[in-house]
Amino acid sequence: MHDDTIAAIATPLGVGGLAVIRLSGPQALAIADRCFRPAGEAAPRPSAAASHTLHFGHIVRDGQTVDEALLAVMRAPRTFTREEVVEITCHGGLLPAQMVLATVLASGARLAAPGEFTLRAFLNGRIDLAQAEAVVDLIHSRTELALRAANEQLAGRLSRRVAALRDPLREILAHLEAHIDFPEEDIAPDAREQLIARLQHCEAQMDELLRTAPEGQLLRRGIRVAIIGRPNVGKSSLLNQLLGHDRAIVSALPGTTRDTIEETANLRGLPVVFIDTAGLREARDEVEAEGIRRSRRALEEAECFLHVFDASEPLTAADRERLAAEAGKRRILVRNKMDLPVRLQLPAAAGAPVVDVCCLTGQGIEALKDAIKGLVWSGEIQAGMLPVMINARHEDALNRSRAAAQRAGETLRAGAPLELAALDLRIAVNALGEIVGQTTTEDLLDTIFSQFCIGK
């Protein structure tokens, strides 16, 4: 376990009303004694203060006042890290917070590594690995649904589902190992069938969790939607309508957008990154050529796209080529400028939903939002799904566990040596343990906690 005391600024750097410097470790109160002077003659020093109390005073270094502050005392184990914790609230702004932190470090603390406070909470058994990951999801939440999902995982809902899978697998493994130790007592046929049925039930439960992976990853990272089309069809106007404010320059001159513009929007509870692109045509200069090159790259990286057309103009040969090139991809065909006489007829063979809009009046924008949600989200967003929406790491561990459990069941069904089934069951149990950190490696912990900011 860690035996030193760490400190870091726990609030974002920059101008603000307040800033918080957090300390955690066995010397947190002793360090606070060295640099904090409580106001009032009868006020106790931090090390003599009761737990979960707040004190007014000054941060002092070399006899000089650094800043006035409020100091919170939280004694182990009733803290986030289960260690002695001190939090100093000082004036906001880059310089006051940095000076208070420098004073704390000069008094004996060490600057915390990214995510080290949460890592200590995990190592001290306050939270498991899935809950630690939920802290990152909570911080990076961009929609209310993502925030709710992170809070549910932080509360341990996913961890309990994993335990409900791991425990029966461990029981089956113990049953097999008992028969391996006493080979004269073979498993009866009906008992073998019961074990196989229990394994199949576990596999079904894993399948249920695995089905949440696409939606879980969508809520966490969002989906990239590229807006493409010929120049002057209204791509930038459409972006502004979807965002609800003017983000891109709109002009009657074709080719106004010369570079890609990215902006994130909360669309029906889903984080969507819209990418406005330069109009696709033969470039007239080097700058436009670079913009078109970036547009094509954005199209390749996007997970789906909106192909915008001018409804007042007939379909061109270039449009037909682009439609053919997009065949089989996730897309929505958008007919813009529906306030003008309609001359555009899209081929029925395009095989994509068509939405009519007018970016000038806002007509059809809400229907387009519904169509985008229907394209990227496989089912209705239900509160009951939020607690167990797994991430990519969980998905990988569940897939490995399910495959191993399935092999164990096939071994039992074939009457092969029990040692083979037991080996696969150990693999299945350990893979599930990786989700909550019961079986893990230092490299895995480094990878997970390196995603955190310093101070969390």
pLDDT in tens, the chain (456 residues): 468 999 999 998 778 889 999 999 999 999 999 999 999 888 999 999 999 999 999 999 999 999 999 999 999 999 999 999 999 999 988 899 999 999 999 999 999 998 899 999 999 999 999 999 888 888 877 777 788 888 888 888 889 999 999 999 999 998 888 888 776 666 777 778 888 999 999 999 999 888 888 777 777 777 888 888 888 888 888 888 888 766 544 444 444 444 567 788 888 777 888 888 765 545 455 655 666 666 667 666 678 889 999 999 998 888 888 888 777 788 899 999 999 999 988 877 667 889 999 988 889 999 999 898 888 775 544 545 555 678 888 999 999 999 999 999 999 988 888 899 999 999 999 999 999 988 777 777 877 887 777 777
> Three-class SS string for 322-353?
HHHHCCCCCEEEEEECCCCCCCCCCCHHHCCC
Domain annotation for the chain: domains and CATH numbers: 6-112 (3.30.1360.120), 131-212+390-441 (1.20.120.430), 222-376 (3.40.50.300)
pTM of the model: 0.73
Question: pLDDT value at position 146?
Answer: 80
Q: What are phi and psi of 273, to 5 degrees?
A: -95, 105
What's the pLDDT at 250? 47
DSSP string, 280-320: -S--SSHHHHHHHHHHHHHHHH-SEEEEEEETTSPPPHHHH
pLDDT of 438 reads: 86
DSSP 90: E
State residue 106's pLDDT score. 95
Q: What's the pLDDT tens digit per position in 326-340?
A: 777 888 999 999 999
CA-to-CA distance for 374 and 47, rounded, in angstroms?
58
What pLDDT is attached to residue 383? 47
